[in-house]
Chain A
Amino acid sequence: MAVPPEAAGQAAESHESVAPKPHLKRDQVVIRFAGDSGDGMQLTGMQFTSESALAGNDIATLPDYPAEIRAPQGTLAGVSGFQLNFSSNEVFTPGDEPNVLVAMNPAALRTNLEDLQPNAVIIVDCEAFNESNIKRAGYTSNPLTDHSLDKFQVIEVDVTKLTSLAVHGLGLNNRAAFRCRNMFVLGMLSWLFQRPIDATIISLKNRFKKVPELLEANIRVLTAGYNYGETTEMFASSYEVPAAHIAPGLYRNITGNSATALGFVAAAVKAGRPLFLGSYPITPASDILHDLAGYKNFPVYTFQAEDEIAGVCSAIGAAFGGAIAITTTSGPGMNLKGEAIGLAMKVELPIVITDVQRAGPSTGMPTKPEQADLMQAMYGRHGESPVPIIAASTPADCFDCAFEAVRIAVKYMTPVILLTDGQLANGAEPWLLPDPDKLAPIKVEFATNPEGFLPYARDPETLSRPWAVPGTKGLEHRIGGLSGENLTGNVSHSPANNELMVRTRARKVEGIKREIPPIEVFGDASGGDLVVLGWGSTFGPIREAVKRVRAKGKKVSHVHLRYLNPMPGDLSETLKRFKQVMVAEMNMGQLLKLVRAEYLIDAFGFNKIQGRPFKVSEIENRINRVLEG
């Protein structure tokens, strides 16, 4: 077997010896599970991820959902995938090219084949390669027999038949039996990578608590798969990816959307206020709504609004009343929320708008990631409408960024835009659980003193106005979208006053700079031949690529931005220490334009707009070409 190529040659023992079969050590393996959307590939992938995490690997995962809910069985459009990168080293991405593909049918094979490493292992359910499935996948001949897969190592397993044999006698109908196939695959791979299946059995017991016959069936099939791996001639050896050196502590696996939801809950708890989410369902942001709807006892209010506008508006209403108020959406929803965000900016009420970016324009590719909403976040409102923007770089980082977004919103009395994307939202990584006691406090002080109260008097340092909530005697006041007089907020059409207010709000947002921590350059802070500048989910592939070229002695560094508005005060001087600045982003060059406009730096872009994250190799190759001139 060729899993994976970088470890080739480490095979110490001959596979001809009798059992036990040899274990071969590997540093890193990328597996992709692919099948029909009803084949349970997401579950299989997540469960294998848990097993790998328990085995101490560093991991990163990415599901790849089809756009259709349930496309016709066996078609290309219906293929659902889940990719897992697990390693004995630090992992930054879900992996470029899988070493192992599990394909439950011909369509799953066909849609994923071009992503595989040469010589990758392909495990197929051969019974699914029947004439009709082959035709439905658009093949003219059976790929298992026409030599088109000769450059791969194909392992054919009759998963369907073996599954049905394993559940024989349990009285399951064909359909129910068929649905257990994923557990056979999981069992087989668990043996192949020497993962104990105990944790999976516990998880199955929870899942099928109320259906004992399905629990029995799934455990039988899982065990059958494991034993099949061990006893058949199909696999010459098993593999071991040893534990990674990971910071000690308590971990859980977390997706970006779940981390975002938890970050908001944590912020509300630290602020001592209820959390209010007003949101309209939209892919890929809806999971934040789903998660928060389960946290009512904190208390968390979730309001599924009639539309995107009502989502953000209800949050503005809740903020007026003193709640930690947020809304969640994706690009199309951001378009609709623009006017209301402008209102929140002008009346200076704290809300957080999370944009889980997806591939546009228009409806675009809803399940695929992109970073093309940065300009919209910066400038997507009429008038001079500065709004702080922060962006999360990894799934777990979504927690910190959600928390930070609330902190800034409340401290500066301003809407804050949090940018994540579909890659972060659904991707997962191990998360070192934060200690709630050590999270920064979020200070909420409502105005209470009527003496000399002015709704737009400002804190001299932050320029923040008081948060005076209804119910407070003596502070009755009116706010609104019309141009407001300095200090009182009363309607005013004075030209000079309007300019004063526009400039004051801009200064307030710009002033957030003072608390942005100094830039951490990965590489050489003193400068070098090239710095790759990134933001958001490109963190993983950029960091891994820069690591690789630095390992070869190249003078290349990486700077990654969390704060996009305002940008860090030391960004300009940091970038100017490098001979060249390359901005890698999943858009046509939006951060690039900002950096060039703001700092007169002759940066250039590296862009990808395919609804797919950068591969590490793409960035690595690009860096090498740049360095070669």
Chain B
Amino acid sequence: MATVLNRKDFVSNQEVRWCPGCGDYAILAAVQKTMPEFGVAPENTVFISGIGCSSRFPYYMNTYGFHTIHGRAPAIATGLKISRPDLDVWVVTGDGDGLSIGGNHLIHVLRRNVDIKILLFNNRIYGLTKGQYSPTSEVGKITKSTPAGSIDFPFNPITVALGTHGTFVARSIDIEQKHLGEMLKRAHEHRGTSFIEILQNCSIFNEGAFNDVTDKALKADHQLVLEHGKPLIFGKNRDKGIRMNGMRPEAVQLSATVTEKDLVVHDETNLSLAFMLGHFEPPLPTPVGVFYAVSRPTYDGAVNQQLVDAKAKQGAGDLRALLGKGDTWTVN
């Protein structure tokens, strides 16, 4: 791209209509701020969404956009990307859209490794339908539909994505603008399906859902920022780390006897490590960053290669020859 793009190139003329205090505003801001850096023109960028609060996202981007039906965005994006590999295709979904009604499409797009970027806004609640528990809500959650507490065991979006052998799996946080921007960049650079779970606050129906990792006073002790090749260190004073105790991870205080050398070093290409980190729950810190990133041929790339190969082998399609294929006979 010759022309320099800026944030305004990605801002549509539509009034943004999420609830005041919604984490989606922060995500939109990060995306609009980061996209110009990719150097991809707005006309070559497409945002596709399903249904839910998050799925209003495409209306606010001055790119091509498609607000589709509940859960189906990955399938629609797959059809577009296969037939138009030249486009930059993004999917915006939520915990209900992506993991409940659209769970099937999400796992299949990940396993195929279609070169699309998926942003899953996880607020652990159904917001648009005004407050029912979601597939990521914690057990015991009291909502309108679960007055006695939810009894569903929740999905963990990271381990679901890892379970499909998704080739890029990351987590970030709505209000962590810098980190989120970095994750968006990494996701965009990756060839294949990029999956980012974005922890997102719902100020109306699930206020403070991720308080421990977002609250300024608490987060340093509850957030573990993953960096490839670096030891797993966290804490306000960066004095805590993750060490293996046999086959089990444990949080340890760094000291004269426990040093960085004893800690686990993050390796984005290690699926077993990614799974282990994906399963972290309190009292272990919540990891954010890239859990897993490996290279594997993309589905859309392979499909288009088959077309190229077929043409090389058989020549360009000849309709007359095709219609007259097989046993024919002439009637005089």
Interface size of A by CB at 8 A reads 70
Question: CB distance A478 to B329 under 8 Å?
Answer: no
Contact of A313 among B41, B68, B310, B322 (CB under 8 A): B68
Q: Whole-angstrom distance between the alpha carbons of A313 and B324 in the complex? A: 33
The secondary structure that dominates the A interface is mixed
A: residues with CB less than 8 A from B are 50, 53-54, 56, 199, 203, 246-253, 262, 265-266, 269, 274, 276, 278, 295-301, 303, 305-307, 309-310, 313-323, 325, 339-340, 343, 347, 433-436, 469-482, 490-491
Whether A299 contacts B76 in the complex (CB less than 8 A), given A250-B324, A314-B82, comes out as: no
Whether A266 contacts B319 in the complex (CB less than 8 A), given A296-B306, A320-B80, A478-B58, comes out as: yes
Residue ID in chain B nearest A246 by CB atoms = B331
B323 in contact (CB, < 8 A): yes
Question: CB distance B332 to A306 under 8 Å?
Answer: no
Min CB–CB distance B99 → chain A (angstroms): 15
B237 in contact (CB, < 8 A): no
Question: CB distance A50 to B327 under 8 Å?
Answer: yes
Q: Whole-angstrom distance between the alpha carbons of A490 and B45 in the complex? A: 19
Q: Whole-angstrom distance between the alpha carbons of A323 and B307 in the complex? A: 15
Residue ID in chain B nearest A315 by CB atoms = B79
Question: CB distance A203 to B76 under 8 Å?
Answer: no
Contacts of A478 in B (CB 8 A): 12, 14, 58-59, 61, 64-67
Residue ID in chain A nearest B327 by CB atoms = A50
B264 in contact (CB, < 8 A): no
Whether A318 contacts B79 in the complex (CB less than 8 A), given A251-B330, A310-B72, A478-B58, comes out as: yes
Residue ID in chain A nearest B311 by CB atoms = A297
Question: CB distance A310 to B105 under 8 Å?
Answer: yes
Question: CB distance B64 to A470 under 8 Å?
Answer: yes
Question: CB distance B58 to A248 under 8 Å?
Answer: no
Question: CB distance B322 to A274 under 8 Å?
Answer: no
Q: Whole-angstrom distance between the alpha carbons of A251 and B328 in the complex? A: 5
B270 in contact (CB, < 8 A): no
Min CB–CB distance A398 → chain B (angstroms): 13
Question: CB distance B319 to A269 under 8 Å?
Answer: yes
Contacts of B152 in A (CB 8 A): none
B83-91, B182-190, B213-221, B239-247 - interface stretch = B83-91
Question: CB distance B68 to A480 under 8 Å?
Answer: yes
Q: Whole-angstrom distance between the alpha carbons of A478 and B63 in the complex? A: 8
Q: Whole-angstrom distance between the alpha carbons of A297 and B309 in the complex? A: 8
B54 in contact (CB, < 8 A): no
Contacts of A56 in B (CB 8 A): 331
Contacts of A265 in B (CB 8 A): 317, 319, 322
Min CB–CB distance A298 → chain B (angstroms): 3
Question: CB distance B75 to A325 under 8 Å?
Answer: no
Q: Whole-angstrom distance between the alpha carbons of A160 and B69 in the complex? A: 59
Whether A314 contacts B78 in the complex (CB less than 8 A), given A470-B87, A475-B43, comes out as: yes
Q: Whole-angstrom distance between the alpha carbons of A325 and B72 in the complex? A: 17
Min CB–CB distance A465 → chain B (angstroms): 15
Min CB–CB distance B3 → chain A (angstroms): 11
Min CB–CB distance B47 → chain A (angstroms): 8
Contacts of B87 in A (CB 8 A): 321, 470-471
Q: Whole-angstrom distance between the alpha carbons of A56 and B315 in the complex? A: 34
Whether A340 contacts B319 in the complex (CB less than 8 A), given A249-B330, A299-B307, comes out as: no
Q: Could you list 12 examples of A-B contacts with CB < 8 Å? A: A251-B330, A296-B306, A296-B311, A297-B307, A297-B317, A300-B317, A320-B66, A470-B43, A470-B44, A475-B43, A476-B64, A480-B59
Interface centre among A253, A315, A317, A474 (most CB of B within 10 A): A317
Contacts of A269 in B (CB 8 A): 317, 319
Contact of B105 among A306, A321, A477 (CB under 8 A): A306
B48 in contact (CB, < 8 A): yes
- In the A-B complex, list the 10 residue pairs whose CB atoms are closest, starting with the nearest: A480-B67, A317-B79, A314-B79, A298-B317, A478-B65, A313-B75, A296-B310, A317-B80, A310-B75, A317-B76
Contacts of A295 in B (CB 8 A): 317, 322
Question: CB distance A433 to B48 under 8 Å?
Answer: no
Contacts of A320 in B (CB 8 A): 46, 66, 76, 79-80
